Homo-oligomer: A and B are copies of this chain.
Amino acid sequence: MQKRDREATRARLLEAARLRFAREGYDATSVRDIARDSGVDATLIFRYFGSKKQLFDLATAADVPAGLLDGPQEELVARMVRTVVEHDWTAYGGEHPLVAMLRSSAHEDARRRIRDEVCATYVDALRDLAEGEDAELRAELLSAWMVGIGILRSVVATPALAGASAADLDPHVAAVATALLGRPMSGAVAPAGER
């Protein structure tokens, strides 16, 4: 094992950048902060990534949990809520990356990336489930709920939601998803064996 390991250093910088950008947003994060966290010199950021902006783009690139779209349709919303509430996002400061990226939403680039990912990952899948007239709108309203839950949980830290587990939310997930999609939805995710 080398002491000087380009790839390892690059990876450490990327990891530190992910954490900083998620926690504090683009503007409040300096390249010196990231370098200090990684224990290396700040100039390596420019050597390896070109610019702060390019590092940001790389560090906040989408990272959709595998298996979100697998499994029973009636549990899709419950699975999505679980990626917000239970998934291990410690690499992003403990928040869903989309929620974290909202801190940088002053930049149109970041907004567009958020929009693309929200639509591609959540709205598109939900639209197929919604039946009836304005499926798109209802899919977006459900996506809005999950984004809002993520924000109130971690950013705003509202008392009950901050401490709620996915199981606490299950019955309400079922009620809202059923009401919005117009078809019976489950609030819990059944273990693989029971499928």
Contacts and interface: CB of A to CB of B under 8 A. Distances in A.
A31 B194 CA distance: 60
Contacts of A83: none
Contacts of A149: 141, 144, 148
Contacts of A169: 137, 141
A52 B118 CA distance: 34
B27 A156 contact: no
Contacts of A111: 155-157
A60 interface: no
A178 B172 CA distance: 11
A24 interface: yes
A155 B102 contact: yes
A103 interface: yes
A136 interface: yes
A137 B118 contact: no
Interface of A: 23-25, 27-28, 102-103, 105-107, 111, 114-115, 118-119, 123, 134, 136-138, 140-141, 143-149, 151-152, 155-161, 164, 168-169, 172, 175-176, 178-180
Q: For the complex of A and B, list the 10 residue pairs with the smallest distance between their C-beta atoms, beginning with the closest.
A: A148-B148, A144-B148, A27-B27, A179-B179, A24-B106, A175-B179, A137-B160, A147-B148, A144-B152, A136-B160
